[in-house]
Amino acid sequence: MGTIQQFLPMIIISIPIMFICRSLAKEKGKDATLWTILGLIPGINIYSLLYLFGASSTILLI
């Protein structure tokens, strides 16, 4: 039971980060499914969020 109590706050923090990563990926033309999964994994999600903030958009605006 102690392991679940330690892991639960990381999951609670990961859920909003997951949605932010998904919306940023859609906005920048990246694969939304991949970035949603990466946004859900604790530890990796911070780095994926930072990458998406700095990534350039692959969608051409006319």
Q: Using one digit for the tens of pLDDT, what is the confidence trace for 41-62? A: 988 999 999 999 998 888 876 6
pLDDT of 62 reads: 62
State how far the Cα of 17 lies from the Cα of 45, in Å rounded to an integer. Answer: 7
- pTM: predicted TM-score of the whole model, two decimal places: 0.82
pLDDT of 37 reads: 95
* Whether residue 12 has pLDDT greater than 70: yes
State how far the Cα of 55 lies from the Cα of 51, in Å rounded to an integer. Answer: 6
Whether the CB-CB separation of 27 and 38 falls below 8 Å is answered with: no
∠ CA 14-20-54, nearest 5°, is 110
Measured torsion, CA atoms of residues 53, 45, 37, 28, in degrees rounded to the nearest 10: 0
* Whether residue 39 has pLDDT greater than 70: yes
pLDDT of 49 reads: 92
